[in-house]
Amino acid sequence: MQVKQAAKDKALSLQKRGQGAGNSEASSEFKVKYVGSIERLKPNDCKTLQGPLDLINYIDVAQQDGKLPYVPPEEEFNMVVSKYGIKVVTSDQYDVLHRHALYLIVSMVCYDDGLVAGRSLLALKTKDPTEDQYSLWVYQCNNVDQAQAICKVLSTAFDAVLSEKARAPME
């Protein structure tokens, strides 16, 4: 129970950035490991990837087929989540590994894959804006609470953007 509360406290005390004069943009930062990706999936390949269970099953099969590793490399990355999307950077903040703009994220799912005790996976399905292709990005979180916190922050970001759009006058 204490571990769960500590994870919640940590999620609540995530780094807030960019709160300077007149700027109320905030972001949350999480330590994750990069498992891998499956890029350039054709729409026909993605027709069966509609729900969370479909994504989980697809990732399981990809791991069995050797397209994704079961265990990620040891290097940890910082995942920064904001209303603009997700940025995954090296721990020293110098190198950007991935950027996932919020409008490119089609779906997300977090789940315990049962392979590494206490660890959970976060999977993102993104769509290429210039081509009719999709990609799956898989990250390992420290625990299920962290994975759920990332999904919650992303969901809040989606809601914030949608409510801003609803408040904006129609042009």
pLDDT of 20 higher than 50: no
Strand (E) positions, 76-148? 76-82, 85-90, 96-101, 105-111, 120-127, 134-141
Q: What's the rounded Cα separation, in Å, for the pair 167 and 164?
A: 5
Answer whether residue 19 shows pLDDT above 70. Answer: no
- The answer on pLDDT for 11 being more than 80 is no
CA separation for the pair 137, 126 (Å, rounded): 8
What's the pLDDT score for residue 3? 37
Q: Which residue has the higher pLDDT, 47 or 171?
A: 47
Contact between residue 55 and residue 47 where contact means Cβ atoms under 8 Å apart:
no
Give phi and psi for 105, each to the nearest 5.
-80, 115
Whether 157 shows a pLDDT value over 70: the answer reads yes
Domains and CATH numbers, the chain: 2-6+27-166 (2.30.29.30)
Instruction: Check pLDDT > 90 for residue 7.
Output: no
Q: What is the pLDDT of residues 31-84, one digit of tens each?
A: 999 999 999 887 777 777 888 999 999 999 999 999 999 989 999 999 999 989
